Amino acid sequence: MIYRRFIFLFIVSFSLIFSDQLFSQHILGAISAGVNLSQVDGDQVYGYNKVGLTIGPSVIIPFGKMKTWSVTLELLYSQLGSRQKNENTAVDTIYKKPPLYYDGYRLSLNYVQIPVIVHYTDKRFIAGGVGFSYGQLVSVTEYEDYDDIRGFVRTNTSLQGPYSRSDIEALAEVRVRIYQGFWFDVRYSYTMFPIRTREFENQYFGNTFIRKQYNNVITLKVVYIFKDILPDKYKKEKKQTG
């Protein structure tokens, strides 16, 4: 059922792009590649320590009098997740507990994402954008510390659970031209709805607590826009229309 929703959204999105009304506009193609620095808020692991790939094509539909506004639709393969190295935890001096050895944690969440973003470009040099992204989970693996005997092992986590198969993120980004049609893009995105609800146990006291989990991602990537409108050409067009 989730795959059907993903395919339906994919078809509808591209149908809108190539509809008669939008096809008359100047549509640009682009491709991007970079890295995701991600963490999962609510998993008791802290820091953007999971480094993953993001890559895929996109289409850009400029609009407005000087084409300074645009709508971008991307199709990305993105690797997200969480990671913590093994470590010795500190001695609990209050309750005189011995130090614990933590074998680490590694979560890999691989998505196919469809971000839709509205951009404003200033002087064909810098652009800012906001939007949303729908993600379909295509693979997942999770390794974590269990106890002193089992150590660092793979869990039973799979596409059947416990992580949600779909992810909707809100995002904002800044893009700067670095050369010709090449842009450097910095994006921040955050999950709008929990991707998992998990129960944790306090290792010292044995009590449990529940936390909801969210993808928290910083993306750094290079975008190449085919047949992009360059600053010099933009200045000429502005003089003609002025």
pLDDT at position 1 is 47
Give per-10-residue mean pLDDT for the chain (242 aa).
Answer: 51 52 67 96 87 95 87 95 70 48 80 96 92 95 69 76 93 95 96 86 67 94 89 61 55
Whole-angstrom distance, CA of residue 239 vs CA of residue 51: 45
Q: 77 near 112, Cβ under 8 Å?
A: yes
pLDDT at position 227 is 85
The topology (CATH level 3) of 2-241 is: Porin (2.40.160)
Dig out the tokens for 113 from the structure: 């994402």
What is the pTM for the complete model shown? 0.79
Whole-angstrom distance, CA of residue 222 vs CA of residue 55: 10
pLDDT at position 161 is 83
pLDDT at position 131 is 96
Q: 14 near 29, Cβ under 8 Å?
A: no
Nearest to 189 by CA among 218, 220, 223, 163: 218
Where does residue 81 fall: left (phi above 0), alpha (psi -120 to 50 degrees), or beta otherwise? left
Cis preceding linkage at 194, omega within 30: no
pLDDT at position 35 is 98
Q: 42 near 198, Cβ under 8 Å?
A: yes
pLDDT at position 66 is 81
pLDDT tens-digit readout, 155-193: 788 888 899 999 999 999 999 999 999 999 999 999 999
pLDDT tens-digit readout, 105-114: 889 999 999 9
- Tally Cβ neighbours within 10 Å of residue 168: 13
Domain boundaries, the chain: 2-241
- Max distance between CA atoms of the chain, in angstroms, equals 78
CA 234 and chain centroid, separation? 31
